[in-house]
Every structure is written in structure tokens, then in C-alpha cells.
Structure 1
């Protein structure tokens, strides 16, 4: 059966101090009311790593680096109409091979959600210039025009 709870760092330090003073595992176990096996594992960890703190490195490593994630978010911010297939192909060119779900999860964490683009495109610079020219040519017209 596995551990029920994790001991505080302070208690682990006191267990190691008691061991340094020459107390045995059973005495330390009774003194701090923890199982003998837990005392053994704490002292073993201290001897191997020189610390009683939680060690890093737990869990699966990320397939995509933070740098690639920022690059991805920047690309989507620059061009919101870009498809996930296009993004995946660009990432593949840079050497990062991830799935579509990983891509979507990364964008969701950045606050970007997928949605269908609007059917009519936004106004281009050419459209704006034409509208402005029309408005200027009709400035002197009657308001009812």
C-alpha cells in the first residue's frame, strides 16, 4: 500500500537531525509518530541527494517547448484565419512534431479558441480607399441624398 500523506519539510528535517544525533529508526519513528519505513526512506533520500525537499523532474516532459508555444500564439495573433493544418506543417518544418490536440491545447492555454471565420472578408485597404473617395466626392450633396 502506498503513502497516505506527505510529511512536511520541517518534520523531514527534524527526522534527519535525529538520525545525525545517533538515534535509531525505531526511536525516531516513535518520537515523531511516523512509520519506520517512512523514516528509512527519508534518511535514504537525504544520503543520496543531500536534501529532504521534493525533487523536480516528475511527470511527462513537454513535447513542445515554451519558445515554440509563444511562436505559435504569435502566428495565430498575426493571422487569426490560419488553419490548424497550416500551423502543424509550419511546426513540422521547424522540427517539432505534435498532434492536432496538443496544438489546440496550447492555444487554449493562451486564451485562443477555435471558431469558424466569417464568410465575408474584412475590408481591405483598397475598399477603404474607394469608400473614402466616394464620401469625398459627395461631400457637397444634399443631406437627403
Structure 2
């Protein structure tokens, strides 16, 4: 069997999120007792994505993107300066007390 690069590109689109319609279709197929492999072939999406959608739906009851997901921001330069100043002023402080002071 020869690999078709266009087919791989179509199936492995990492940068795009699936529409809510596709999420609903995956759940509908799952409720109709289709296997993950069958759903994957039917909708032309990776089986790992299908499995993730079904797992998320079972645990959370929804397939919507949750708030707070994604990469967390790094500390800003101002925050780094404040942290350095706080630690230099009182090196014996615990990490909890430093965190509280930075949040205020």
C-alpha cells in the first residue's frame, strides 16, 4: 500500500479545531454503538481525536472547550522584578506568603 501525502495532510490537521457539528456527530455515532475505528473512518478524523471527544463527553457531559485550557502565560518582567525584590527583602519567607504578597 502506497502512502498518499494528501490523505495524510487531510487526516492530520493539527492546527484546526473540530466544529461542534463534528463533535455531535462523533457522540451520535458512539451512542449508535459504532466503534472508535468505525467513527474515525466514517468522519475522516484520527481515532485518538474520536477517543478524546468520547472520553471528554463521558466525564464532563459536554464537548465544549473548557475555560482555563491552553498554555499559561509566563510571568511578566514587572512580576519578576517584584518577586526578586520581595525575596531580597525577606529571604526567610515561605513560598505561600510570597505568593499571597504578589497576588495583592
- TM interval, shorter chain, is 0.5 to 0.7
Q: Secondary structure at the residue paired with 2:28? A: helix
Which structure has the greater CA radius of gyration? 1
- Structure 2 residue runs of 5 or longer lacking an equivalent are 1-11, 76-99
Report the CA distance between 1:3 and its aligned residue: 3.0
RMSD: 2.7
2:18 corresponds to: 7
Q: Secondary structure at the residue paired with 1:97? A: helix
1:97 corresponds to: 102
2:63 corresponds to: 52
Q: Secondary structure at the residue paired with 2:102? A: coil
Q: Does 1:24 align with 2:35?
A: yes
Q: Name the count of aligned residue pairs.
A: 66
* Aligned pairs (5 A) from 1:1-145: 3-58=14-69, 59-60=71-72, 97=102
**Structure 1 residue runs of 4 or more that deviate by more than 2 Å after TM superposition:** 1-4, 58-61, 95-98
Normalising by the residue count of structure 2, what TM-score does the alignment of the two structures yield?
0.54
Q: Higher helix proportion, which one?
A: 2
Normalising by the residue count of structure 1, what TM-score does the alignment of the two structures yield?
0.39
